[in-house]
Chain A
Amino acid sequence: MAGIAPGAVDRDNPFKRNGLTSAGWVLLAAYLLYSFNTMGVSWERFSNGLGFADRLLERMFPPNFSRSELLLGGLVESLEIAIISTVIGIGLSLFLGLFAARNLMPLWVSAPVRSLIALCRTFHPVIVAILFVKSVGFGALAGILTLIVASIGFIAKLFAEAIEEVSLKQVEAIRATGAGFVSVILFSVMPQVLSRFIGFSTYQLDSNLRNSTMVGIVGAGGLGGTLFSAFQRFDYDFVAAILITIIALIMFGEFLSNVVRRVFR
Chain B
Amino acid sequence: MTAIDHHWQRFTLPQKLSRYAVYLCVLLALLVSLRTVEVIPEFFYDAPAQMADLFRRMWPIDFAYYPMTVQGAMIETLNIATIGTLLTLPLAMPLALMNASNVVASPWVHWIARFFLVSSRSVNSLVWALLFVAIFGPGVISGVLAIAFRSVGFVGKLLGEAIEEVNMGAIEALRATGASWMSVLLKGYWPQVMPAFFSIVLFRWDINVRESAVLGLVGAGGIGVVLNDAMNLFEWQRVSMALLAIFVVVIVAEILVVNIRKRLI
Contact = CB atoms under 8 A, between A and B. Distances in A.
Interface stretch (B37-45, B91-99, B104-112, B179-187): B37-45
Nearest to B49: A135
A231 B33 CA distance: 28
Contacts of A231: 130, 134
Contact of B231 (A36, A79, A81, A130): A130
Contacts of B37: 77, 80-81, 84, 140, 144
B122 A80 contact: no
Give the dominant DSSP class at A's interface: helix
A177 B156 CA distance: 51
Interface of A: 31-32, 35-36, 38-41, 45-46, 49, 52-53, 56, 76-77, 79-81, 83-84, 87, 122-124, 126-127, 130-131, 134-137, 139-141, 144-145, 210-211, 213-214, 217-218, 221, 224, 227-228, 231, 236, 243, 246-247, 250-251, 260, 263-264
Given A130-B217, A134-B231, A210-B124, 17 more contacts: A32-B86, A39-B79, A39-B141, A39-B144, A40-B141, A45-B136, A53-B135, A77-B37, A122-B210, A126-B217, A127-B227, A136-B43, A141-B43, A214-B126, A217-B130, A227-B127, A227-B130
A83 B29 contact: yes
Q: Which of A31, A80, A236, A247 has the most CB of B within 10 A?
A: A80
Given A84-B30, A213-B124, A263-B19, A39 B83 contact: yes
B193 interface: no
Interface residues of B, number: 58
B135 A136 contact: no
Contacts, number: 148
Contacts of A144: 37, 39
A122 B26 CA distance: 29
Contacts of A136: 43-44, 46-47, 50-51
Nearest to A122: B250
Given A134-B231, A246-B123, A141 B218 contact: no
A237 B208 CA distance: 29
A87 B26 CA distance: 8
Interface of B: 15, 18-19, 21-22, 26, 29-30, 33-34, 36-40, 43-44, 46-47, 50-51, 53-54, 76, 79, 82-83, 86, 118-119, 122-124, 126-127, 130-131, 134-137, 139-141, 144, 210-211, 213-214, 217-218, 227, 231, 243, 246-247, 250-251
Given A39-B79, A40-B140, A83-B33, A124 B210 contact: yes
Contacts of A40: 139-141
Given A84-B33, A227-B127, A32 B83 contact: yes
A118 to B, nearest CB: 9
Nearest to B250: A122
Contact of B217 (A49, A137, A218): A218
Given A49-B136, A126-B126, A227-B127, A140 B82 contact: no
A141 B50 CA distance: 14
A161 B21 CA distance: 29
A51 B79 CA distance: 26
A136 B40 CA distance: 10
